[in-house]
Structures are given as structure tokens and as C-alpha cells.
Amino acid sequence: MPDTQPEGEKSAAGAQRLASLDLVRGVAVLGILAINIAGFAGPMASMTSPNMPQPVSPIDEAAFAFSFLFFEGKMRALFSLLFGAGLVLFWERAEAAGRNGDTLQTRRLFWLMLLGALHYLLLWWGDILFLYAVCGLGALLLRPLRDRTLLIIALGLYYFWHLWGVLDSSAAISAETALRHGTASASQLAMLGEWLDPMRSWAAQEMRESTYGFFDLVLVKLQERPFWQFQMVTGSFSETLPLMLVGMVLYRRGVFTGTLSRRRLRAVGFACALGGLGLTALFLGWAWPRHFPPVTMHAALVWGLALPHLLSGCGYAALLVLSTPRLAPTALGRRLIAAGRMAFSNYILTSLVMTFLFYGWGLGLFGTVGPAMQWLFVLGGWALMLGWSEPWLRRYRRGPLEWLWRSLIERKVLTNRA
């Protein structure tokens, strides 16, 4: 998410911003749409396997495989790393301006939590702002620790949580494998039913709710799922917080700022990116011929691919920082940087546009667009974000939601004209 500078710093905000962070953030906010589109187009089960709740064509499977290889988990990791880096950057700038960085950061995260709650309630169930705000508070408490200690905490929590999840899923994975081989026992069939029936039931409920009007959907969330975001926090805290802590360390060590030597950046970038993509490709080579079995896919997405997600996120970040000096002056680079500076506004804008396209209060395309056709909406979303961000920032200092967020932090209406 975007970095918000504390009031009281130099007015030449553009000169102070780290172009590398903005460029990486721009790529991340575009990339996250490539994964979120399956949730927008629905139902949610299709994010786990393209053949849930019903089989799709080979072309759709290929499109799912492409997104899975290059975007799934990797954009989420990149966003979390960036958020951790932004926490440190914000704190440093506040302290340098003679202000209390911890107080301002806490206020900043509180408002993000509230805005995230509104995003969930008014637009989309897949909000990450609330989750990031809660995890950000945890990261803020741990910020004073040394880098080595932060990494021990981060990697210990990250891998313990994911290893536990893999072990907990092993029985269901074995049952699914036995069913595929035609050797499943009655108890294994019952176990699979307990796993798959709720997913199918939830998909059917999503299809019904997708036809509701705007205010009807809001009412459903208030009455039936008021604690949805707290459930997301409990389910994702042990992934998101560790990645934020790693992002804090990477920022301190000069990865995001470009102060790390280009030789090391290149080595880290290629080693991590190729390692992460290679491990993902190995799993993809197993899952794709088997048509992405849902139980195993769920275990892989949530638990089993933790290492390639982390490696890919770090590798993508390093390679993008490495490319910033050459890419930033180009037309594409400028637009990516502008999209990154307005990541908050762009993130919410995509929710608004996509829910209008797919939900019943808009065009009602929910459940009718497969993975291959979803890429048309992704490309349209990318064009929109890249198209409006740079012209907006020629006239205004911040994106509309960045301005609102900062005004709430500073407790006054700030000037936004460039």
C-alpha cells in the first residue's frame, strides 16, 4: 500500500519519494488484480481450482496455470514486503521531522483499519486493508528489534505456521489421491465430503447473493458476516506479519532503496526469483495434468507454497529495484511509478469497477467469465490504472484516497493541488 508522509516535511514530495518503492508498488497493485480477478468474477472456489465448482476448458486451465506460476502468492508477498518497508520509511520520516513516529504510525494504521472495514462492507469481501492494519500494528511493536531478531521471529512464525498447515491437510490430500486412483475408503469419502460440500454450498450461496442489489449485499454482510475480516486476520496473520517483518529488514539493508550494491541486488533477484518460480513450476507440473485437484490445491496455496512465494516476492522486488534507474525515465516507468504512488486509490478503484462489472447491482457477470476471459478484464484494469494515475498526479500531489487518508492522519484538510 502507499507510503503516507507525515505533514511538516518539505513540500517537494516528489523529490523525497523513493522511485524504486513506488515502481515496485505500481507493479504490485497491477499484479494483485491478476489474482483478485478470480474472486471478483466468482465464485470464490474458482480461486482454489479452475474446475471448482464446475469443470472448465483446457484454455481456461492454461490461463489459470499462467496466473498461478507468475502471480499467485507472489503479488501478495510483494505487497506485504512493501508494507513492511513503508512502515519503517514512514517512521524514519516522522522522526526526522521532529514528530513521534510511533504515534503517527498508530493513527495511520487505525484509519487504514476503518477504511478497510468500509471497503469490505461497501464493495468486496477480499479486502486486505484491515488485515494489513492489524498486522502493521504487530510489526510496529517489533520494529525496534535488530534485523537478525526480526528475521528469526519472521521466518520461525512463517514456516511453523505453514508446516503445521501442511501436516494438518495431509489426511485430506491422501483421501483425494485415493479417490483419484479409485481406492478411497468409506471414511476417506466421508472426509472429502466434509471438505468439499461446504465449498460447493458456499459457491451456490455466492451465486445467489451475486444477484442482490447494492444495499441488500451490504445488509447481508452486516447481518450474516459482520466478523468476516477478523476471520481473515486469524487465517492470514501468520503469513502477513512475517512478510512485513522481512520487508522491514530488506528496507533497512538497502534492497528497496537501491543502496545495496547492484551485484548483490542482481544475485538476490535472480536467485530468489528463479528459485521461487522453479519450485512453483515443479508443483504446477504435477497439478496441471491432474486438473488442479481442489483439496491439494487449497493446501498448496495456503500452506505448501510458502517458500516459493517468499522467494519470488523477494526476487521480484530486487529485480524491479535493479531496473528502476533505466525503467523510471521511460513512459511505462513513469506510469508504473504514478500507479504506485496512488496504490490505495487504484486498489479501491479496481474493487469498484470489478464489482460493478460482476455483481447484480452492476452488469451481473458473476460466475459467467472463465479464467481465460478474465484476462481481458485484467488488461482493462491495468490500462485504467496506468492511464489515469500519471495525469492525476500532474494536477494533484496525491491520489484522492491518499489525500483523504493523510488528512485523517493529520487531523486537518490538506491542500492537494500540485
281 closest CA partner among 47, 68, 88: 68
Integer Cα distance of 158 and 172 in angstroms: 22
Domain boundaries, the chain: 13-168+208-410
Q: For all residues of the chain together, what is the average pLDDT?
A: 94
What pairs with residue 396 in β-bridges? 417
pLDDT of residue 17: 52
**Residue type for position 75:** M
Write out pLDDT tens, residues 94-114: 999 999 999 999 999 999 999
pTM, two decimal places: 0.93
pLDDT of residue 14: 37
Give percent of the chain with pLDDT exceeding 70: 96
**Residue type for position 129:** L
Would you say 340 and 29 are in contact if contact means Cβ atoms under 8 Å apart? Answer: yes
Does the structure show a pLDDT above 80 at 11? no
pLDDT tier for residue 259 given thresholds of 50, 70 and 90: confident
145 closest CA partner among 156, 154, 136: 154
Would you say 415 and 394 are in contact if contact means Cβ atoms under 8 Å apart? Answer: no
Give percent of the chain with pLDDT exceeding 90: 93
Provide the total of helices (H) and of strands (E) in the chain, helices listed first: 17, 0
Does the structure show a pLDDT above 90 at 383? yes
Would you say 351 and 119 are in contact if contact means Cβ atoms under 8 Å apart? Answer: yes
pLDDT of residue 256: 87
**SS3 assignment, position 417:** strand
Segment 285-295 shows an average pLDDT of 97
Write out pLDDT tens, residues 303-330: 999 999 999 999 999 999 999 999 999 9
Query: What are the residues whose beta carbons fall under 8 Å from the beta carbon of 34, sequence distance 6 or more?
Result: 67, 70, 71, 75, 375, 378
Does the structure show a pLDDT above 50 at 199? yes
Question: Cell numbers 498461478 correspond to what residue?
Answer: 68
**Angstrom distances, CA of residue 37 to CA of 49, 122, 379, 399:** 14, 18, 11, 23
Question: Cell numbers 520461525 correspond to what residue?
Answer: 156
Integer Cα distance of 351 and 401 in angstroms: 14
pLDDT tier for residue 7 given thresholds of 50, 70 and 90: very low
Would you say 242 and 162 are in contact if contact means Cβ atoms under 8 Å apart? Answer: no
Integer Cα distance of 258 and 251 in angstroms: 9
Write out pLDDT tens, residues 169-196: 999 999 999 999 999 999 999 999 999 9
